[in-house]
Amino acid sequence: MQVLFINAGAKSSGATQQILLTAQNALVPDVTSQVICLGERNIGFCKGCMSCYETGTCAQRDEMESLMDAIDAAQVLVIAAPSYWADVPGQFKVFIDRCTVYGDTNPHPSHRALRSGKVCYAFALRAGKRPMECEHIIGTIAYWCGHMNIQLGGSMYF
């Protein structure tokens, strides 16, 4: 089994990364896993050109495709997102927007979609105390899962 831990924050030196590394350390030995940080990937923002609806692929060439290869290779995803202004960090939103190629709203008959059967666990964290912001972030991850044919296995916030 492969587990992909996605740090949806800006950096791999903060609390988000620590939470994911702690979860990774708890895995049984025969599970392969890696932790990636979206903020350290070169992923350009969606230009809204909608050419992916016409062609089934994105016009931009950056790290998005290799990232989706890693996501598709995993059976389990763990996404952790910190609160930035009571919402997901910008690079995570950029990533979600770029998933317009892969999601179930893309009408192109041969657009790339993820293999079925994946499960995602969602973590959210923030500096403040009230849970509302974290619930919103988990809702965003759940919405993404819904359109990517991924089952939300559970969620937790810090």
Report the interface residues with ligand FMN, using CB under 6 A.
Answer: 9, 11, 14-17, 82-86, 125-128, 133
When the beta carbons of 11 and 115 are compared against ligand FMN, the nearer one is 11
When the beta carbons of 15 and 113 are compared against ligand FMN, the nearer one is 15
* Separation of alpha carbons 128 and 158, rounded Å: 10
CB of 28 to ligand FMN, least distance (A): 26
When the beta carbons of 98 and 126 are compared against ligand FMN, the nearer one is 126
* Separation of alpha carbons 7 and 62, rounded Å: 19
When the beta carbons of 69 and 85 are compared against ligand FMN, the nearer one is 85
Q: Give yes or no for a contact between 76 and 6, defined as CB atoms under 8 angstroms apart.
A: no
CB of 13 to ligand FMN, least distance (A): 8
* Separation of alpha carbons 130 and 134, rounded Å: 8
CB of 138 to ligand FMN, least distance (A): 14
DSSP string for residues in 79-118: EEEE-BTTB--HHHHHHHHHGGGTSTT---TT---PPS--
Radius of gyration, CA atoms only, the chain:
15
CB of 21 to ligand FMN, least distance (A): 11
